[in-house]
């Protein structure tokens, strides 16, 4: 604990950078993942391709994915860019899958009534399907975020900074205090994200019988 | 008086016609075969038949939730294929068995859905919503802000009817609207339906498998079996028919009613 107590601002700065990377990555993943999930509900044929790709990305070890992107143009110029892209790629699967499941899980009677009343496809999506699946989609975002907070510590290996810094330095110096200085705040952030997004998920889930 | 304008909500020009309509799902056998049927303005036509007879299919062909494989369905003299899909559906109220209320909307918001989509003013939507709720015997001050899960099955169904009628469509399709209710609520809603119909003059097509309901509510009854229309009868003709297919519907109740007067008293 000594190190944590003696370097509060250093740790706080790293934590802010850490969460900034995770936050941007989540926004990117949502902007890409939710439309992909919707697309899957509209075009049956796209399903295996989209889910398959997201699945394959998930199977690549994160350290390797960070490494693969190092030589990429523009991305490779800044380590945090690589970190954000990698985290976003990892987040795709839970977000895409939950969006798809949320929308296909809408009560068929509700959809039939909506169509019968003359809602357009767009109105059906924005007024019925998305509001009713918002809780499920948020659950996917929550899962993705918690995973990302952990994976982001590995981004320090390519020099992206964040709380992983302390962990890698601690590993190199065989200094447990240093490792804890990265690991404890990272765990706390993961827990806090889980709680906050869980609360949001509850708020977004429509009332049920 | 000249002819009423084409967009009038008067039931007189709200006519539905089936011309040699068949429906065959892409990988199955025919659900509906060579259906010919004319629905007159202002009548309540009951589509009666067992499960799988094609009655719900017929209903969904009218608002084009599904499309026929061959033949033509005409609504107000125009083939449904030529109608703008959204306009067609806005002219036809639609009520289904489980009501299909939007669970994330309050009762008032559910009833006002179509009005809001049509861009009516807030004041008008509120006025009309309250009027509709009163029409189906739900006190607006008590029910407007509730959510569907806070209602009984019968109340949900009333909201479903109010929602379907809010934009005053000339035609109304009802798919077993009272099917999921307990007998008391069902009877109550059926009586209510009869009173409401007096005031509204809509062209109504109602799907049911309940012969008593068909006799009670229908001005005419279309009997379907295995995708074929067996015939169209007034309740009187239906009750007195010697046709074995019709007797099969009536006999289970003959013992109960004693004199075949079923459907008349209630």
Predicted confidence (pLDDT) per residue in A119-172, tens digit:
999 999 999 999 999 999 999 999 999 999 999 999 999 988 899 999 999 999
Distance between B254 CA and the closest CA of chain A, angstroms: 35
Q: What is the pTM of this model?
A: 0.85
Contacts of B98 (CB under 8 A, 6+ apart): A109, B156, B180
Sort out which chain B residues have CB atoms less than 8 A from A110's CB and list them.
100-103
Task: Provide the ipTM.
Answer: 0.84
Q: Give contacts of A127 with chain B, Cβ < 8 Å.
A: 102
Mean pLDDT of A34-47: 94
Distance CA B151, CA B184 (A): 16
- pLDDT of residue A66 exceeding 60, the answer is yes
* Over residues A73-99, mean pLDDT: 93
pLDDT of residue B265: 45
What is the average per-residue pLDDT within A11-24? 96
Q: Rounded to an integer, what distance in angstroms lies between the CA atom of residue B233 and that of residue B214?
A: 11
Using a CB-CB cut-off of 8 Å, the residues of chain A touching B149 are: 207-209
The pLDDT assigned to B5 comes to 44
User: How far B160 CA sits from the closest chain A CA (Å)?
Assistant: 9
B117: nearest CA in chain A?
A: A119
Q: Is residue A182 within 8 Å of residue A170, measured between CB atoms?
A: yes
Q: Pseudo-torsion of CA A112, A115, A117, A122, nearest 10°? A: 140
Which chain B residues have any C-beta within 8 angstroms of a chain A C-beta?
63, 65, 85-90, 92, 94, 96-104, 113-114, 117, 147, 149, 160, 163-164, 173
Nearest residue of chain A to residue B93 (CA atoms)? A117
Q: Identify all chain A residues contacting B173, using CB atoms and an 8 Å cutoff.
A: 116
- Whether residue B188 contacts residue B153, with contact meaning beta carbons closer than 8 Å, is answered with no
A207 has pLDDT over 90: no
Chain A residues closer than 8 Å to B98 by CB: 109
CA-nearest residue of chain B to A121?
A: B86
Least confident of A37-41, A63-67, A117-121, B117-121: A63-67
Beta-carbon separation of A109 and B173 below 8 A: no
Q: How far apart are CA B53 and CA B57, in angstroms?
A: 9
Tokens 């690549």 label which residue? Answer: A60
Give the integer Cα–Cα distance in Å for B24 and B66: 11
Tell me whether residues B88 and A117 touch, CB distance under 8 A: no
**Beta-carbon separation of A117 and B89 below 8 A:** yes
Q: Which residues contact B214 (CB under 8 A, 6 or more apart)?
A: B46, B48, B208, B221, B235, B238, B263
B101 to chain A: nearest residue by CA? A110
Chain A residues with CB under 8 Å of B163 CB are 117
Collapse the DSSP code of B44 into the 3-class scheme (helix H, G, I; strand E, B; otherwise coil) and give the result.
strand
Tally of CB atoms within 10 A around B45: 22
Higher model confidence: residue A75 or residue A170? A170
pLDDT tens digits, chain B, 266 residues: what are they? Answer: 444 444 444 445 548 999 999 999 887 788 999 999 999 999 999 999 998 899 999 999 999 999 999 999 999 999 999 999 999 999 999 999 888 999 999 999 999 999 999 999 999 999 999 999 998 889 999 999 999 999 999 999 999 999 999 999 999 999 999 988 888 888 988 999 999 888 888 999 999 999 999 999 999 999 999 999 999 999 999 999 888 888 888 888 766 655 545 545 44
Cβ B114–A116 below 8 Å, yes or no? Answer: no
CB burial class (10 A; 0-12, 13-18, 19+) of residue B86? middle
Helix (H/G/I), strand (E/B), else coil: B221: strand
Q: Is B11 helix (H, G, I), strand (E, B) or coil?
A: helix
CB pairs under 8 A between A and B: 68
Backbone φ and ψ for B114, nearest 5 degrees, come out as -65, -35
Which of the 8 DSSP states describes residue B134? H
pLDDT score of B76: 93
Q: Exposed (0-12), middle (13-18) or buried (19+): which is B187, by Cβ within 10 Å?
A: middle
Contacts 24+ apart (CB under 8 A), A118-122: A118/B85, A118/B86, A118/B87, A118/B88, A118/B89, A118/B90, A118/B114, A118/B117, A119/B113, A119/B117, A120/B86
The whole-chain average pLDDT of chain A stands at: 93
> In whole angstroms, what is the distance from residue A106 CA to residue A130 CA?
9
Query: How many angstroms away from the CA of A194 is the closest CA of chain B?
Result: 25
* Rounded distance between C-alpha atoms, residue B91 and residue B110, angstroms: 18
Cβ contact B63:A114 at 8 Å: no
Q: What's the pLDDT score for residue B14?
A: 45
Q: How far is B94 from chain A (nearest CA, A)?
A: 6
DSSP string, chain A: -HHHHH-HHHHHHHHHHHHHHHHHHHHHHHHHHHHHHHHHHH-GGGHHHHHHHHHHHHHS-HHHHHHHHTTSTTGGGSHHHHHHHHHHHHHHHHHHHHHHHHHHTS-HHHHHHHHHTT--HHHIIIIIIHHHHHHHHHHHHHHHHHHHHHHGGGGGGGT--STHHHHHHHHHHT-HHHHHHHHHHHHHHHHHHHHHHHHHHHHHSPP--
Nearest to B65 among A107, A116, A209 (CB): A116
What pLDDT score was predicted for residue B200? 86
Strands B44-48 and B203-208: parallel
Instruction: Say whether pLDDT at A58 is over 50.
Output: yes
CA gap A165, A171 in Å, rounded = 10
Q: Are B97 and A109 a contacting pair at CB < 8 A?
A: yes
CA angle A76, A77, A79 (to 5 degrees): 70
Distance between start and end Cα atoms, chain A:
48
CB atoms under 10 Å from CB of A52, counted, come to 10
Using a CB–CB cut-off of 8 Å, the residues of A that contact B are 107, 109-120, 123, 127-128, 131-132, 206-209
pLDDT confidence of residue B255 = 63
Q: Compute the distance between CA of residue A153 and CA of residue A151 in angstroms, rounded to an integer.
A: 5
Give CA separation, B222 vs B173, B228, B233, in Å. 14, 10, 6
Contact residues, chain A, for B57 at CB < 8 Å: none
Query: Is A118–B90 a contact, with Cβ atoms under 8 angstroms apart?
Result: yes
Query: Tell me, what's the pLDDT at A96?
Result: 97
With an 8 Å Cβ cutoff, are B103 and A120 in contact? Answer: no
- Strand pairing category for B171-175 and B203-208: parallel
What chain A residue is nearest to B96 in terms of C-alpha separation? A113
Contacts of B84 in chain A (CB under 8 A): none
């Amino acid at each position: 604990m000594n190190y944590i107590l003696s370097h509060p601002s250093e740790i706080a700065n790293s934590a802010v950078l850490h969460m900034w990377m995770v936050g941007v990555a989540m926004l990117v993943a949502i902007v890409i993942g939710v439309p992909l999930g919707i697309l899957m509900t509209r075009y049956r044929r796209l399903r295996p391709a989209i889910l398959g790709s997201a699945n394959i990305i998930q199977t690549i070890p994160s350290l390797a994915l960070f490494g693969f992107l190092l030589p990429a143009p523009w991305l490779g110029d800044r380590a945090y860019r690589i970190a954000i892209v990698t985290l976003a790629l990892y987040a795709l699967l839970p977000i895409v899958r939950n969006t798809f499941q949320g929308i296909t899980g809408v009560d068929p009677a509700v959809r039939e009534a909506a169509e019968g009343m003359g809602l357009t496809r767009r109105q059906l999506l924005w007024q019925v399907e998305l509001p009713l699946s918002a809780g499920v989609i948020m659950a996917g975002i929550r899962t993705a975020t918690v995973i990302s907070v952990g994976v982001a510590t590995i981004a320090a290996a390519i020099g992206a900074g964040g709380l992983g810094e302390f962990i890698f330095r601690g590993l190199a110096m065989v200094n447990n205090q240093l490792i804890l200085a990265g690991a404890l705040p990272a765990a706390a952030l993961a827990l806090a994200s889980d709680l906050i997004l869980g609360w949001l998920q509850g708020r977004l889930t429509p009332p049920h019988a | 008086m000249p002819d009423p304008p084409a967009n009038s909500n008067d039931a007189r020009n709200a006519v539905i016609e089936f011309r040699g309509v068949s429906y065959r799902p892409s990988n199955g056998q025919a659900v509906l075969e060579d259906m010919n049927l004319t629905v007159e303005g202002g009548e309540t036509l009951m589509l009666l038949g067992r499960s799988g007879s094609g009655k719900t299919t017929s209903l969904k062909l009218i608002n084009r939730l599904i499309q026929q494989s061959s033949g033509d369905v005409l609504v107000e003299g125009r083939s449904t294929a030529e109608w703008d899909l959204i306009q067609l559906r806005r002219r036809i109220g639609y009520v289904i068995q489980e009501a299909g209320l939007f669970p994330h909307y309050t009762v008032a918001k559910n009833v006002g859905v179509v009005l809001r989509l049509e861009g009516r003013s807030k004041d008008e939507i509120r006025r009309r919503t309250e009027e509709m709720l009163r029409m189906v015997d739900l006190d607006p001050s008590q029910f407007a802000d509730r959510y569907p899960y806070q209602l009984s099955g019968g109340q949900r169904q009333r909201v479903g009817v109010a929602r379907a009628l809010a934009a005053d469509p000339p035609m109304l399709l009802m798919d077993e609207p009272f099917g999921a209710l307990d007998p008391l609520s069902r009877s109550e809603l059926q009586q209510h339906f009869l009173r409401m119909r007096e005031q509204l003059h809509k062209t109504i097509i109602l799907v049911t498998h309940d012969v008593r309901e068909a006799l009670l509510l229908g001005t005419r009854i279309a009997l379907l079996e295995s995708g074929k229309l067996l015939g169209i009868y007034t309740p009187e003709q239906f009750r007195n028919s010697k046709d074995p297919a019709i007797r099969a519907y009536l006999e289970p109740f003959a013992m109960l009613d004693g004199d075949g007067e079923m459907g008349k008293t209630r």
